[in-house]
Structure 1
C-alpha cells in the first residue's frame, strides 16, 4: 500500500512553523472529536532545532481556539522559553519524561476522552476487533499504577519507562497516551485508539466479540499501522480543519 510522505523542509524555521501549525490543528481536531474535558489534556511537539524543548498548548485555553502563535515552548526544566501562557505542570511532567526517554518521538498526546478513560478503568488490553484495533495489537501497554494528577517526577518517569518502544499506553483510571514521529501520527493514534475502545465496548455490550487471528492482526498492523500510514490517515482531517478554520495556522 502506497502512502504520501510528510513534507521535507529547506530550513529549521520552516520546519518549526509547520510543526507548530500541525500541533495547533491536532488540538483543534481533539476539540472536534470532543476530547476537551475542562482544562485536561495536552499534545506536545519536540522543537526541530532544540531537542530538549517542546511546544505545548497553554494551560486553560480551549483546544478549539488555539492557533499556532498561542503555543508555548518549554525546556526540560519546565521553564517557558517562548510564548505567553501558563504551563500545565502535569503536561510537563509526563511529556518531558517521554521525550527524554524516546528520542524517536516527536509528539505525544493525552486527553481525558470518554472511551479512552472508560477503557483505562478496565485494566486490560484492546482486542484486535477491527482494522483500527489491529494497529495496536502487541503495540500498547497497560500502566497499572494510578497516576492521578501527575505532578511527581517519579510517576512520570514510570509512565515513560512502561511505555517503552510502543505507540500507546493505557494509564489506569486516567486515560490514554499516544506517541509518534510526527504530530499527525501521535494525534491519529489517539483518535484510532479512542475509536477502537468505543467499538470494543459496544461489541462486548452486544455479545461475545470475535477478535482477528493474531497473524492477520499483525498483517494489518504492519500495513496500515506504520508511522507513515498514520500520518497519511490524519491528512483528511488536517485539510478539513484548515479549510474550515484557517485562523488555526496564524
Structure 2
C-alpha cells in the first residue's frame, strides 16, 4: 500500500479539512490500520490541502461544522440553547465559528453559523444572530489556551451527564476506551452555569496542554480536536464509553468483577486510535451519510 505521508501539525495551526502532507515516507498509524491489494496500488484518498485557498477551506469547514450539528441532532443531544461546537476560522485565525443561540442542532446550516471576533462579539461575515454566553466563555478560553484545538465541542448528552455526577474518569475496560488512555481529564469544580470568564479559564486550565477530552463534573463532556471530525469523534466515543461504564457499574453491583485493559496494552492501542487521522476518517463516514440523506444543510 502506498503510504500516506505524515503530518507536521506544529506548522499547521488550523489544519481542519485541509491537511498539507509532508514528503516523509515513514508509515503513520493510519497506514497500519488500512490494507490495500498485494501490489500496493490502493491507498486512502488524500485529505484536501486546498492549495492554500483559505476561502475554499472556510467554505468546507462551515459545511463540516453544520454537519457536526446535524449529527448531534440525530443523536438527540439538543437541549434548548445548551451546547456549542466551535471551529477556528482559516481566513481570520483569531475568529471562530459557532452555532446561534436557540436554534436546534437539526436546524443548523452552514449559512446560520455565526462568526465571533477576538473581542468576543458577533462579527461580520457570518449570520447576524446572538450566541450562547456560557458557550462563548468556555470555548473562547479553551481556544486561547489550546492553539492546537481547531474545534471544541460541549453539550449535555445523557450518558456523559449521568457519569459526570461521580466526578471520575472512565475506566479502561474496552478497546474503545483506549482512545482516552492518558488523554482524559476530570474538572471537579462545578461552579454553576458559566456566566463569568474565570470559570471558563478554570475549565481550560483543567483540560491542560494535551488532553483531547474532559468530563466536567455535574455538567457534561468536552472534547477538542485538530479537525472538526476528530473533535466530534472524541465526543461521541466518550459519550458511548460513559454509557458502557454505567452498564458495567450496574453489573458489578450484582457481584460481577471488572477486567481492566492493562496499561501497556492500552498505551500500545492508543498509539493507533489516538492518531488524529483515525478519528477524523471514522467520523467522515458519518458526514458522508448525512450529506447523502439530505445535503440541504450545506447551504
Q: Which residue of 1 aligns with 2:50?
A: 9
User: Could you give the per-residue CA deviations for residues 158-197 of structure 1, whole angstroms, max 9, x where no partner exists?
Assistant: 1111101210111110001100000001111000000011
Question: How many angstroms apart in 2 are the aligned matches of 1:49 and 1:72?
Answer: 14
Structure 1 runs (4+) greater than 2 angstroms displaced = 1-7
Q: Which residue of 1 aligns with 2:76?
A: 34
Q: 1:125 aligns with which of 169, 192, 198?
A: 169
SS in 2 for 1:84: coil
Question: How many angstroms apart in 2 are the aligned matches of 1:8 and 1:147?
Answer: 41
Quick check: 1:231 aligned with 2:269?
A: no
Q: Which has the higher strand share?
A: 1
TM-score in terms of structure 2 length = 0.81
SS in 2 for 1:60: coil
**Range that drifts further, 193-202 or 33-42:** 33-42
Quick check: 1:195 aligned with 2:240?
A: yes
Q: 1:90 aligns with which of 114, 131, 134?
A: 134
Question: How many angstroms apart in 2 are the aligned matches of 1:89 and 1:6?
Answer: 34
Mapped contact 2:154–2:223 kept (Cα < 8 A): yes
| Cα shift at 1:20 | 0.5
Quick check: 1:162 aligned with 2:195?
A: no
Q: Which residue of 2 aligns with 1:43?
A: 85
Q: Which residue of 1 aligns with 2:220?
A: 175
Q: Which residue of 2 aligns with 1:219?
A: 268
Question: How many angstroms apart in 2 are the aligned matches of 1:24 and 1:147?
Answer: 30
CA RMSD across the alignment: 1.2
Question: How many angstroms apart in 1 are the aligned matches of 2:103 and 2:216?
Answer: 24
| Cα shift at 1:231 | 0.2
Question: How many angstroms apart in 1 are the aligned matches of 2:151 and 2:186?
Answer: 20
User: Could you give the per-residue CA deviations for residues 119-160 of structure 1, whole angstroms, max 9, x where no partner exists?
Assistant: 111111111112221100111111111032111111101111
Q: Which residue of 2 aligns with 1:73?
A: 115
Q: Which residue of 1 aligns with 2:13?
A: none
Question: How many angstroms apart in 2 are the aligned matches of 1:226 and 1:62?
Answer: 32
> Judging changes above 3 Å, is the alpha-carbon distance between structure 1 residues 75 and 147 closer, same or farther for their aligned structure 2 residues?
farther
Mapped contact 1:147–1:171 kept (Cα < 8 A): no
Q: Comparing both chains, which one has the higher relative contact order based on Cα–Cα distances under 8 Å and sequence gaps of 6 or more?
A: 1
Quick check: 1:152 aligned with 2:201?
A: no
SS in 2 for 1:69: helix
